[in-house]
Copies of this chain bind each other. A is one copy, B any other.
Amino acid sequence: MHAPDLQTVKVDLADRSYSIVIRRSLFDNPLSYADLPRARRALIVTNTTVGPLYAERLQKALSSKYERVHILELPDGEKYKTWQHMNLIFDALLENGCDRQTVLFALGGGVVGDMTGFAAASFMRGVPFVQVPTTLLAQVDSSVGGKTAINHPLGKNMIGAFYQPIKVICDLNTLQTLPDLQLQAGLAEVIKYGAIADNDFLAWLETNLSALLARDPSALTYMVRRSCEIKAWVVAQDERESGVRAILNFGHTFAHAIEAGLGYGQWLHGQAVGCGMVMAAHLSCQLGLADAFFVNRLTLLIQKAGLPTKAPILSQADNAGRYLTLMRMDKKCTDGEINFVVIDKPGRAGIHCAPDTLVRRVISTSCTAPATLPQVDPP
Interchain CB contact (< 8 A) of A101 among B94, B240, B335: B335
Q: What does DSSP make chain A's interface, helix, strand, loop or mixed?
A: mixed
> Which of chain B's residues have a CB closer than 8 A to the CB of A152?
87, 90, 94
Are the CB atoms of B333 and A94 closer together than 8 Å?
no
> Which of chain B's residues have a CB closer than 8 A to the CB of A90?
152, 154, 158-159
Closest chain B residue to A146 by CB distance?
B125
Are the CB atoms of A159 and B126 closer together than 8 Å?
no
**What separation, in Å, do the CA atoms of A162 and B99 have in the docked complex?**
17
Please encode chain A, from 94 to 118, with 1 for each CB lying within 8 Å of some chain B CB and 0 for all others. Answer: 1100011100000000000000001
Interchain CB contact (< 8 A) of A122 among B91, B155, B160: B160
**What separation, in Å, do the CA atoms of A121 and B163 have in the docked complex?**
11
Count of identical protomers in the assembly? 2
Interchain CB contact (< 8 A) of A124 among B87, B122, B331: B331
Confirm or deny: A204 has a beta carbon within 8 angstroms of a beta carbon on chain B.
no
Are the CB atoms of B334 and A99 closer together than 8 Å?
yes
Are the CB atoms of A331 and B100 closer together than 8 Å?
yes
Interchain CB contact (< 8 A) of A161 among B83, B125, B335: B125
> Which of chain B's residues have a CB closer than 8 A to the CB of A160?
122, 124-125
Confirm or deny: A123 has a beta carbon within 8 angstroms of a beta carbon on chain B.
yes
> Which of chain B's residues have a CB closer than 8 A to the CB of A334?
99-101
With A99-B331, A99-B334 already in contact, the answer to whether A126 and B240 are too (CB < 8 A) is yes
**What separation, in Å, do the CA atoms of A159 and B334 have in the docked complex?**
29
Confirm or deny: A149 has a beta carbon within 8 angstroms of a beta carbon on chain B.
yes
**What separation, in Å, do the CA atoms of A331 and B99 have in the docked complex?**
6
With A90-B152, A99-B331 already in contact, the answer to whether A126 and B161 are too (CB < 8 A) is yes
A320 shortest CB reach to chain B, Å: 21
Interchain CB contact (< 8 A) of A94 among B95, B154, B162: B154
Confirm or deny: A361 has a beta carbon within 8 angstroms of a beta carbon on chain B.
no
Confirm or deny: A147 has a beta carbon within 8 angstroms of a beta carbon on chain B.
yes
A/B interface sample: 14 pairs, CB < 8 A: A90-B154, A90-B159, A95-B154, A99-B331, A99-B335, A100-B334, A121-B161, A122-B161, A123-B158, A124-B160, A125-B147, A125-B240, A126-B240, A161-B161
Q: Which 7 A-B pairs have the closest CB atoms?
A: A94-B154, A124-B331, A122-B159, A125-B160, A99-B334, A125-B162, A90-B152
